[in-house]
Amino acid sequence: MTANLTLAHLYPDLMRTYGDRGNVMALASRARWRGIDVDVVGVTRAERIPAGADLVLIGGGTDRAQETIGEDLRGRREELRDLSGAGTVVVGICGGYQFLGHRYVDADGVAIEGLGLLDVTTVAGQPRIIGNVRAAATFGGRSFELFGFENHGGRTTLGSGATPLATVGRGQGNNGRDRTEGAVQGSIVGTYLHGPVLPTNPAFADALLARALAAPGRPDAALAELDDRLEDEAHRLARARKR
């Protein structure tokens, strides 16, 4: 049986400031190179996520874009909870990561409700956290180096229900204090790293794909090895970047 993968990209028209279309392309390409049929579906406001989607990605955006999609995204709480409960991998990047948490408290002290799918809370702070990140990450039983660029004003704190995606060796990560970066809770993943992050971190992309393809009720689809010489060189260059 030929494996297939449905990848839903939420708000590709609005939440794409940090190259998140590149993340979608990396996931789709790495699946197709292995002979997996991939259906990439853009889902914007008032549109349903495809039933049985295997992977959902929510990217980053400007404050105005986040305000624009806020009500629509909060209306998807049960939809995303049901999907993730069935094994769908949900990935939030930067602003998308913050939305997956309980709340974001802005610079004026106003609390903006999130989805509550990740046990994290974000509070705006100064100065912005900006720079290159090197981290040691774990997801889906796979461990890998993680490199990317962070640019966020929020300070995110994890509750007991979430675990860090990575431990930061260089950079500031979630909050500049505890050396954590991102969060994982079941099949839900959040990260501040962009650039986009997945083309230069093929091991992270493959960890997401492997988890999505291992959802209950799916046919087995082991990930074959790929010729990653170009990706490995991009990864090496990311490692060599100075702050």
SS3 45: coil
Residue 94: active-site member: yes
**Cα-Cα-Cα-Cα dihedral of 190, 44, 21, 200, to 10°?**
10
Which residues, in sequence order, are CB contacts of 203 under 8 Å at separation 6+?
Answer: 142, 144, 145
Neighbours of 165 (CB within 10 A): 25
In whole angstroms, what is the distance from residue 41 CA to residue 26 CA? Answer: 15
| Element spanning 160, H or E | none
Residue 194: active-site member: yes
Question: Which residue of the set 9, 102, 152, 194 is catalytic?
Answer: 194
Concatenating the DSSP letter of every residue in 65-134 gives HHHHHHHHHHTTHHHHHHHHHTT-EEEEETHHHHHHSSEEE-TTS-EEE---SSSEEEEEEEEEEEEEEE
Question: Which residue of the set 9, 94, 152, 235 is catalytic?
Answer: 94
Cross-strand pairs, 138: 143
Q: Which residues are catalytic?
A: 94, 194
